[in-house]
Structure 1
């Protein structure tokens, strides 16, 4: 399945009237919506390559919204999840957030709250995807470096001068400068600020937190 170029909202609810009403509401603000009556139908129609979010009802036959949320997380689906329920309580809310939900809405759904939650979730997903792409590009560039160039880069990140790096590495300052020039070229950067940005993109991609 080819990913959609537009953000997609995947709406899962066993109540057809709710699906129709919410899909219509989301469509009025230009959002692309795909509706499903249960988790099995979603699994058959979900494209993890799309940018967007998931709207999951908690109480559904066979597989609950919380169970579906856990399945999707195990499968590596990164779409932000908004949980909906007509039977909200503190325990359900806590479990949803522990499993990574970005919002928890009680029925009857407030239209403004829903639209705001969906738009926040889509913005978050776009940011996550952009960061992941930036990190992947940075890792690709760093892979071009030789072992010595990586050592020189580590010195740059530690704030070492060429002379200090030369002393640590047991080479001449001129050789350090040569390696610095080479790593700048391979990383396609023209300033220390750009160099640090490439390096931090990799660090954040391996364990950074959302803003």
Structure 2
């Protein structure tokens, strides 16, 4: 029996196509994926488990991901956050990076860049195990 911690990803996304893509990538990397309907639900889940990465869509309601990042900062959670946003929304991308996101990935092309971040999360998790 392995005592190694399984890397966990929290996802805040309502688009089932994007969710399915991320779920496939998590399965491929043997990572646990937890999906949430709201930022509040995700924040509440942090009381029991701190994920290795949070992926948050910056869509409905507008700015939800940035609000989540502000809440994470105010509670002093140091969790890498990747924001998913609409193609060519430069102002949202800049705001996300300024708020502390490690990346802003444009939908729908997310697989390759997200895979790189997952590899980094897996490496961090392996070091901490």
Aligned-partner Cα distance in 2 for 1:67–1:89: 17
What is the deviation of 1:45? Answer: 2.1
Backbone CA RMSD of aligned residues: 2.7
Alignment check: 8 A CA contact 1:12 1:56 kept: yes
Aligned-partner Cα distance in 1 for 2:19–2:79: 19
What is the deviation of 1:93? Answer: 1.5
Which structure has more relative contact order (CA 8 Å, sep 6+)? It is: 2
Q: Normalized per residue, which structure has more helix?
A: 1
What is the deviation of 1:116? Answer: 0.6
Q: How many pairs were matched up?
A: 126
Select the structure of larger CA radius of gyration: 1
Aligned-partner Cα distance in 1 for 2:27–2:86: 23
Aligned-partner Cα distance in 2 for 1:124–1:100: 18
SS where residue 101 of structure 1 aligns?
coil
Change (3 A) 1:77 1:122: farther
Alignment of 1:1-211 (within 5 A): 5-47=5-47, 50-61=50-61, 64-123=64-123
Q: TM-score, normalised by structure 1?
A: 0.51
Q: Normalized per residue, which structure has more strand?
A: 2
| Runs of 5+ unmatched residues, structure 2 | none
What is the deviation of 1:16? Answer: 3.0
Q: Deviations over 1:141-196 (max 9, x none)?
A: xxxxxxxxxxxxxxxxxxxxxxxxxxxxxxxxxxxxxxxxxxxxxxxxxxxxxxxx
Q: TM-score, normalised by structure 2?
A: 0.80
Alignment check: 8 A CA contact 2:8 2:51 kept: yes
Change (3 A) 1:37 1:87: farther
4+ long deviations beyond 3 Å: 47-51, 121-127
| Runs of 5+ unmatched residues, structure 1 | 131-211
